[in-house]
Structure 1
Amino acid sequence: MSAAAQTVVRRFWKAMASNDFHVASLYLTEDFRLQWPQSGEIVEGRENFAALNTAYPASGPWTFDLRRIVGEGDQIVTEVAISDGDLHATAITFHTVRGELIALQREFWPDPFEAPEWRRGWVRLPSG
């Protein structure tokens, strides 16, 4: 993966952790698009991105734990654990970097689910 693309994506997630989403939006192109395929929503523009994240209801400050970053060229994929203290979620985000900014994010929010009973003979469940 391109060092420049990886750097801008890491800086983006660091800025998100500041909870100043207007600062985080500075890592996005003016014509940025965020796609949420699961709901069909598209956020267009860095201003809408900042406003949406600022208005998002939360129990406390958001935390962003970058667990994995992989990619090739200007295509970067991240796995990030996100929490506001009550909500605990994982986002899988596909970033397209243009120049030194993120032009597109395609983001998936997988829901946790109970392990099916039929698989219990072949899997180990985490303790806790």
Structure 2
Amino acid sequence: MEPLKVVAQLWERIDARDWHGVSRLIAEDAVIEWPVSGERIVGRANFIAVNSDDAYADERSVEVLRILADGDLVVTEVEIPQDHVVYRAVSLWTVKDGEIVGAREYWTSPGQDPAPRWRAGYVEPLAEPLAEPLVAD
């Protein structure tokens, strides 16, 4: 399966909470890094455990805002709203032989890192994200 399709299916299955389906897309020895929180998830079982934890039980749908592929590298931008916060992630996925073997994901919440005052004269507030998701390969 093409790398872009593998990652698109990953987000669809995470959205559906289809953990068995997710496990078929992640290599047994995959390494997923979360630099913002300083964590590394090693292995399929740990990736499934982290993502299926009860702490995420109240999550709403996953919206893929963008997905781009270049060879084995797939980049996604997703948004996951919850009652009290919206999470966004930019993820760089590496896919080999139809499985995700590695990733680096940058998770944050819009506005969590406020702009410093000194930039006020040079910037304007960011508008809403694109209305239509971008898909390219």
With normalisation by structure 1, the TM-score equals: 0.83
Asked if 1:82 is matched to 2:70, the reply is no
Aligned residue for 1:98?
Answer: 96
1:110 Cα deviation from its structure 2 partner: 3.3
1:116 Cα deviation from its structure 2 partner: 3.0
Asked if 1:119 is matched to 2:124, the reply is no
With normalisation by structure 2, the TM-score equals: 0.78
Aligned residue for 2:25?
Answer: 27
2:125 alignment partner AA: L
How far does the alpha carbon of each residue in 1:2-37 deviate from its partner, in whole angstroms, 9 at most, with x for none? Answer: x80111110110101002333222211111111112
Q: Is the 8 A contact 2:59 2:80 kept in 1?
A: no
Q: Unaligned stretches of 5+ in structure 2?
A: 128-137
Q: Say which is worse superposed, 92-101 or 3-12, in terms of deviation.
A: 3-12
Asked if 1:52 is matched to 2:50, the reply is yes
How far does the alpha carbon of each residue in 1:29-53 deviate from its partner, in whole angstroms, 9 at most, with x for none? Answer: 1111111123332212211111121
Alignment RMSD: 2.3
Query: Sequence identity of aligned pairs in percent?
Result: 33
Aligned residue for 1:12?
Answer: 10
Q: Is the 8 A contact 1:33 1:104 kept in 2?
A: yes
Q: Is the 8 A contact 1:59 1:85 kept in 2?
A: no
Aligned length: 126
1:59 Cα deviation from its structure 2 partner: 6.0
Q: Is the 8 A contact 1:37 1:106 kept in 2?
A: yes
1:124 Cα deviation from its structure 2 partner: 2.6
Q: Say which is worse superposed, 26-35 or 95-104, in terms of deviation.
A: 26-35
